[in-house]
Amino acid sequence: MSTHLPTTDVRDPASRARTDRMRAALLAADFTADGLLELLGAPAYAALARSETVPALRATRGGSPLETLVRLFLLQRPVARARAEAALPVADCLADGWLAEDGAEVRARVDVRPYGGPEGQDWWVVSDLGCAVGGAGGIRGAGQVDRSELVLGVGGASTTLAGITVPTPAGRALDLGTGSGIQALHASRHATHVTATDLNPRALRIAALTLALSGAAPAELREGSLFEPVGEETYDLIVSNPPFVISPGARLTYRDGGMGGDDLCRTLVQQAAAHLNDGGYCQLLANWQHVEGEEWTDRVRSWVPRGCDAWVVQREVQDITQYAELWLRDAGDHRTSPEEYAARYDAWLDEFEARGTKAVGFGWITLRKSGADEPSITVEEWPHPVEQPLGETVVGHFARQDYLRRTDDAALLAGHFRLAGEVVQEQVGLPGAEDPEHVVLRQHRGMRRATKVDTVGAGFAGVCDGSLPAGRILDAIAQLMGEDPVLLRDRTPAAIRMLVEQGFLEPVGTEG
Distances (CA, A) of 418 to 41, 136, 325, 402: 43, 49, 48, 17
Given a cut of 90, whether residue 195 has pLDDT beyond it is: yes
pLDDT band of residue 252 (cuts 50, 70, 90) is: confident
In whole angstroms, give the CA distance from residue 505 to residue 493.
13
Q: What percent of the chain has pLDDT over 90?
A: 85
pLDDT band of residue 435 (cuts 50, 70, 90) is: confident
Q: What is the pLDDT of residue 187?
A: 98
Given a cut of 70, whether residue 451 has pLDDT beyond it is: yes
Of 4-8, 105-109, 291-295, 434-438, the poorest mean pLDDT is in: 434-438
SS3 of 361, please? strand
Of the candidates 469, 488, 487, the one whose C-alpha atom is nearest the C-alpha of residue 416 is 469
Q: What is the pLDDT of residue 135?
A: 40
Given a cut of 90, whether residue 253 has pLDDT beyond it is: no
In whole angstroms, give the CA distance from residue 114 to residue 24.
13
* Mean of the per-residue pLDDT values of the chain: 93
Q: What is the pLDDT of residue 439?
A: 93
Given a cut of 70, whether residue 52 has pLDDT beyond it is: yes
pLDDT tens digits, 93-117: 999 999 999 999 999 999 999 999 9
Of 118-127, 130-139, 407-416, the poorest mean pLDDT is in: 130-139
Q: What is the pLDDT of residue 318?
A: 98
Residue 156 CB neighbour total at 10 angstroms: 9
SS3 of 470, please? helix
3-state secondary structure 6-74: CCCCCCCHHHHHHHHHHHHHHHHCCCCHHHHHHHHHHHHHHHHHCCCCHHHHHHCCCCCHHHHHHHHHH
Q: Where are the alpha helices (H) located in 283-434, listed in sequence order? A: 296-301, 320-330, 338-355, 391-406, 409-414
Are 71 and 112 in contact by the 8 Å Cβ rule? The answer is no
**Spatial CB neighbours of 337, under 8 Å, sequence gap ≥ 6:** none
Q: What is the pLDDT of residue 357?
A: 97
Are 128 and 152 in contact by the 8 Å Cβ rule? The answer is yes
pLDDT band of residue 144 (cuts 50, 70, 90) is: low
pLDDT tens digits, 384-434: 999 999 999 999 999 999 999 999 999 999 999 999 999 999 988 788 777
In whole angstroms, give the CA distance from residue 286 to residue 386.
18
pLDDT band of residue 139 (cuts 50, 70, 90) is: very low
Q: What is the pLDDT of residue 2?
A: 42
Q: What is the pLDDT of residue 48?
A: 86
In whole angstroms, give the CA distance from residue 119 to residue 53.
29
Q: What is the pLDDT of residue 3?
A: 54
* 366 or 430, which is more confident: 366
Q: What is the pLDDT of residue 138?
A: 42
pLDDT tens digits, 18-27: 999 999 999 9
Q: What is the pLDDT of residue 50?
A: 82
Given a cut of 50, whether residue 264 has pLDDT beyond it is: yes
**Spatial CB neighbours of 401, under 8 Å, sequence gap ≥ 6:** 309, 376, 378, 501
* 293 or 331, which is more confident: 293
Q: What is the pLDDT of residue 237?
A: 98
Dmax over CA atoms of the chain, in Å, equals 90
